[in-house]
Structure formats: structure tokens, C-alpha cells
């Protein structure tokens, strides 16, 4: 970090494009798996140089090695950097993380992730002053645009959590739109906005924009090798974890929908 750049939407962190000795040491540790959970980058918007409205927006996964490679390549360029959550540590080969969904296979989770995915959006809403949106471009393009506009206009921290297809999920990327839609219609990926600015209008800051699930969660998981491999190797364990994952989805939806009834 080397300060901030002021925008109409608020201050955006400016990151260095040269790596310090501490950065290089951290990269080495991350590659070796030493304290690897310490090297995640908070999802959100960053910048290099002095970008303006017409500067390019570059997207990266939220792990140190991906982020460092991108920012170093941006030396001498003005750009916006958007950090997304892909559900794994993408740059180092797809290791499991706290964002990995239950039942998915990843490095260090060869028998399927045993714990549920963290509910990052719900965690951020507890701060009260942060704009939060969970979006899915394949499922609802208009909502994505609305979320970006509101995030830019919010006078305070903003975070947009986007459903992010990844080759590590194990399906042909030409089916990205179909799988993105299935993520929403199966109940896995919630779609909502939490805008504290709505309080000034006497409105509930939480706007729930997900439809009730219409797709069997199994149809969604069966399309991805990260789930299907476990179904082939350990069908009983895959079934057990999928049933727990369905409960995770329901609980995540219900916990978020409660916010729609508050205030």
C-alpha cells in the first residue's frame, strides 16, 4: 500500500508495483504453504498509478501470488484492480480455502471440503457502514450494474462479492454463463445488496434479489469435476457432504433473508 486515490465513490487503496523484501519472503512462504492463510487479499477495488474513469479494470483472484504478479506487471500503468473470490487459492494451483464450498475437492481437501463456505457478505453487514453486494453476472446482469453504481456512490467502504468461474472448478469455460445461472437457481449463490444509504430514506438497507431455488443442487455440482470426482471415488461420502452442503445453502439464504425483515 502507498496511500489512497480519491474518487467520487471514496478513497481507493493504491498499491505498489515493486515488491519489497517482505513481499518476496511472503511469496516464498505462500508457495511452501507456510502460514498460507495469512496471505489472502481482501476482495475489493485497488489501483496502481493514477487511474481515471477511462482506465482499464483488471481482475485477479484474492490470493497473494496472483495479486503480486498483477501489480508488479502494472509498473508504469494507471489501472484499477478488482479482486474476486474464486473459492480457492487460484494462482498456486487451486488449494482449498475458507471460501471453498463443502464437498468440493481441492488441494489439501482430496476427500472433499468438510466445512461449509464462510458467509463473507453477512459478516461485512455487521459493520453497519459498509455497502455489500453479492452478484452473479450470468444470473442477473442488471443487478450487477445496479450494485456497481451504488457501490461507487456510497460514502464509505464498499465490497462486491462476485460469483467467479474458475478453471479449477473443472468444467469447460464456454459453459460459464450456464453454470453461473445454475449457481443461483440451485440456491448456492445468493444475490442481494446491503446499502446503508437507504436508511436516510427510511428504508431497509437490505435488498434481497434471489429467487427461490428451482434447480436441484446435484445438477449444479455434477457439472463440475471438483464435485463429480468425489462422487466417483467415494459416492457415499459425496452424498453425505452434498446433503450437508444443501443445508449450508438453506442456512445461508435464511440468515441473509432475516435482514430483509429487520428495521
pLDDT band (50, 70, 90) for residue 102:
low
pLDDT reading at 247 higher than 60: yes
- A 10 A CB-CB count for 154 gives 18
Grid cell at residue 258: 432475516
The pLDDT, as a whole number, for residue 207 is 94
The span from the CA of 137 to the CA of 70, in Å, is 23
Same domain, 248 and 140: yes
Residue-range definition of the domain harbouring residue 74? 1-84
In this structure, is residue 40 part of a structural domain? Answer: yes
The pLDDT, as a whole number, for residue 246 is 85
- Look at residues 190, 160, 162 and name the one whose alpha carbon lies nearest to residue 257: 190
CA distances for 143 relative to 10, 147, 179, angstroms: 21, 6, 18
Same domain, 60 and 181: no
Which domain CATH number covers 172?
Answer: 3.40.50.970
Same domain, 212 and 129: yes
pLDDT mean over 223-228? 82
DSSP string, 123-164: HHHTTSS-EEEEE-TTT-HHHHHHHHHHHHH-SS-EEEEE--
Same domain, 1 and 120: no
The pLDDT, as a whole number, for residue 15 is 84
Same domain, 133 and 169: yes
Q: How many domains does the chain have?
A: 2
Same domain, 123 and 247: yes
In this structure, is residue 94 part of a structural domain? Answer: no
In this structure, is residue 169 part of a structural domain? Answer: yes
Cβ–Cβ under 8 Å, residues 143 and 209: yes
Measured N-to-C along each axis, helices 64-73 and 21-32 cross at an angle, to the nearest 10 degrees, of 140
Upper half-sphere CA count for residue 59 (Cβ side, 13 Å): 11
Same domain, 17 and 63: yes
Same domain, 5 and 53: yes
In this structure, is residue 90 part of a structural domain? Answer: no
Q: Is residue 10 within a helix (H) or strand (E), and if so which, with residue range?
A: strand 10-13
pLDDT mean over 127-139? 89
The span from the CA of 193 to the CA of 171, in Å, is 29
Mean pLDDT of the chain: 78
pLDDT reading at 259 higher than 70: yes
Same domain, 75 and 107: no
pLDDT band (50, 70, 90) for residue 96:
low
Same domain, 75 and 111: no
Overall residue count recorded for the chain in this entry: 263
More confident call, 112 vs 46:
46
In this structure, is residue 216 part of a structural domain? Answer: yes
Same domain, 73 and 118: no
Cβ–Cβ under 8 Å, residues 210 and 184: yes
Amino acid at each position: 500500500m502507498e496511500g489512497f486515490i480519491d474518487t467520487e465513490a471514496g478513497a481507493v487503496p493504491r498499491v505498489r508495483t515493486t515488491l519489497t523484501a517482505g513481499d518476496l519472503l511472503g511469496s516464498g512462504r505462500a508457495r511452501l504453504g507456510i502460514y498460507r492463510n495469512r496471505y489472502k487479499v481482501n476482495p475489493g477495488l485497488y489501483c496502481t498509478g493514477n487511474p481515471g474513469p477511462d482506465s482499464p479494470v483488471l481482475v485477479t483472484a484474492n490470493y497473494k501470488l496472483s495479486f503480486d504478479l498483477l501489480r508488479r506487471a502494472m509498473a508504469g500503468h494507471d489501472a484499477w484492480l478488482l479482486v474476486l473470490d474464486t473459492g480457492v487459492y487460484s494462482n498456486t494451483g487451486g488449494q482449498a480455502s475458507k471460501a471453498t464450498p463443502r464437498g468440493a475437492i481441492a488441494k489439501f481437501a482430496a476427500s472433499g471440503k468438510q466445512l461449509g463456505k464462510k458467509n463473507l457478505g453477512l459478516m461485512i453487514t455487521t459493520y453497519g457502514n459498509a455497502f455489500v453486494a453479492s452478484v452473479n453476472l450470468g444470473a442477473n446482469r442488471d443487478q450487477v450494474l445496479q450494485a456497481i453504481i451504488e457501490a461507487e456512490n456510497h460514502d464509505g467502504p464498499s465490497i462486491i462479492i462476485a460469483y467467479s468461474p474458475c478453471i479449477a472448478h473443472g468444467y469447460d469455460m464456454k459453459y460459464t454463463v450456464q453454470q453461473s445461472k445454475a449457481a443461483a437457481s440451485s440456491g448456492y449463490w445468493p444475490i442481494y445488496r446491503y446499502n446503508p444509504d437507504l436508511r436516510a430514506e427510511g428504508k431497509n438497507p437490505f435488498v434481497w434479489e434471489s429467487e427461490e431455488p428451482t434447480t436441484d443442487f446435484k445438477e449444479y455440482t455434477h457439472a463440475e469435476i471438483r464435485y463429480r470426482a468425489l462422487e466417483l471415488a467415494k459416492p457415499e461420502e459425496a452424498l453425505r457432504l452434498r446433503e450437508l452442503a444443501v443445508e449450508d445453502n438453506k442456512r445461508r439464504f435464511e440468515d441473509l433473508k432475516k435482514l430483509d425483515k429487520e428495521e
